[in-house]
Homo-oligomer: A and B are copies of this chain.
Amino acid sequence: MNNNSKILIIDDERQIRKLIVITLESNNFYVLEAATAKEGLQMAAMHPPDLIILDLGLPDEDGQSVLVKLRDWYISPIIILSVRDAETDIIQALDNGANDYLVKPFRTGELLARIRNALRNKFESNNQSIITFQNITIDLVARIVKKDNAVLKLTSTEYSLITLLARNENKVLTHQFILREIWGPGYVEQSQYLRVFIAQIRKKIEENPNQPKIIITESGIGYRLVGEDI
């Protein structure tokens, strides 16, 4: 997994870059650094990395704009960095195609976990007809969901919702994104729907629905389906 994957950091704060470089290099990643948006875009184009860590607060260009430019052609994971009081930016970045986010200051352990997660997904094919996570199996062709080999009775909305989350295993999906995908663009404000249906699904798949281990709430942002119980 961490065998020589190439990672590009785009961040203007030298201290943060240094912290990340030390953490990653001691875990056998090969690290590239860029201090500005311009430099980062050039470097990404010249030496396409396996993963990009992008700070949203760059001096020379808006982070969202950098993200959109990257996503034009770059398909590997992008993890964004942001300060705590800029949650709107995080949400927008996730909608713009970021895979995950880290709020500064962050623990280096968390950084590594997020990177491993993102890279793991990268290597898993995305066109399977059977998705498995924790003790759950989804057969996309037969449209059957099983928990420990027992078939679950799901309504069609419940099925669509868990399938959407499962196809984006370990990735935070914003409320807006989920509502747009499942109910359509006219429903992006109806987050109450989501609460009701997430609750229903949790009742069916979680061992302990009021302490969920599969569908995790990312408060203020959305939900994340966790592939492996950690």
Q: How many residues of A contact B (CB 8 A)?
A: 6
Query: What chain B residues lie within 8 Å of A141 (beta carbons)?
Result: 185
Identical chains in the assembly: 2
A143 in the interface (beta carbon within 8 A): yes
A186 in the interface (beta carbon within 8 A): yes
Query: What chain B residues lie within 8 Å of A142 (beta carbons)?
Result: 184-186
Of A141, A184, A186, which is in contact with the most chain B CB atoms at under 10 Å from its CB? A184
- A interface residues (Cβ-Cβ under 8 A, vs B): 141-143, 184-186
A184 to B142 Cα, complex, angstroms: 7
Query: What chain B residues lie within 8 Å of A143 (beta carbons)?
Result: 184-186
- Distance of A138 from chain B, by nearest CB (Å): 13
A143 to B184 Cα, complex, angstroms: 7
A185 to B186 Cα, complex, angstroms: 29
A142 nearest in chain B by CB position: B185
A186 to B145 Cα, complex, angstroms: 13
